[in-house]
Amino acid sequence: MAEDATKLPVKKSAVPAKSEARMPFESLRHEIDRLFDDFRPFDWRLPSRVLGFEVPRVSRAEWQVAPAMDLIEKDDAYEITAELPGLDEKNVEIGLSNHTLTIKGEKSEEKEDKQKDYYLSERRYGSFQRSFQLPEGVDADKIDANFARGVLTVKLPKTAEAKKAEKKITVKAA
């Protein structure tokens, strides 16, 4: 039965197919570009609220310069930790307005190297700003910020009412 199969002639075109016409590196570049275009670090799958904080949407351009920040809820306070390498405490500003905490920072660096046979001048600068809508139950008068070794820690203590409002529920076996 396999011998009864009809063979059809295959015609090869003189013009290569579109995918064959691409050079191997061009094809690789196209695939890598597509991969990065599809990557969204702050995608719709992330919640809009974390630990009661309103998490702002960050565009790709902002994401590249926005520092890494952690939001942690502890028993008596919320804590925001930001990694700010290369910055000093004088370059960081924290403000609170209308129940919104804003952290701003700016870095500028200039380097000059003059030698006998060359002159090198480099400048680097950048700034960021992140804002967080505070959850209910934060004692705004007792917010504290510390900066050590390039890490900013902002403590947002809970009010006494917020601490009492939490209730633990025991899980029973069925």
The CATH number of residue 144's host domain is: 2.60.40.790
CB environment 34-47: b (16+ within 10 A), e (fewer): eeeeeeeeeeeeee
Give the whole-angstrom CA distance, residue 152 versus residue 83. 6
Tell me the two tokens of residue 98: 């209308």
Give the whole-angstrom CA distance, residue 18 versus residue 68. 43
Has residue 121 been placed in a domain?
A: yes
pTM for this one?
Answer: 0.56
Has residue 108 been placed in a domain?
A: yes
Has residue 88 been placed in a domain?
A: yes
Task: Kindly give the parts of the chain with pLDDT less than 50.
Answer: 6-8, 10-13, 42, 44-46, 60-63
Q: What pLDDT digit, counting tens, does each position of 84-108 carry?
A: 888 888 989 999 988 899 999 888 8
Taking every pair of Cα atoms in the chain, the longest distance, rounded to a whole number of angstroms, is 90
Has residue 18 been placed in a domain?
A: no
Quote the pLDDT of residue 63. Answer: 45
Quote the pLDDT of residue 56. Answer: 56
Quote the pLDDT of residue 61. Answer: 47
Has residue 89 been placed in a domain?
A: yes
Has residue 3 been placed in a domain?
A: no
Residue 93 structural domain: 46-164
Domains in the chain: how many in total?
1
Residue type, 126: G
Contacts of 96 (CB under 8 A, 6+ apart): 102, 134, 140, 143
| E strand spans, 18-99 | 49-50, 53-54, 69-73, 77-83, 92-97
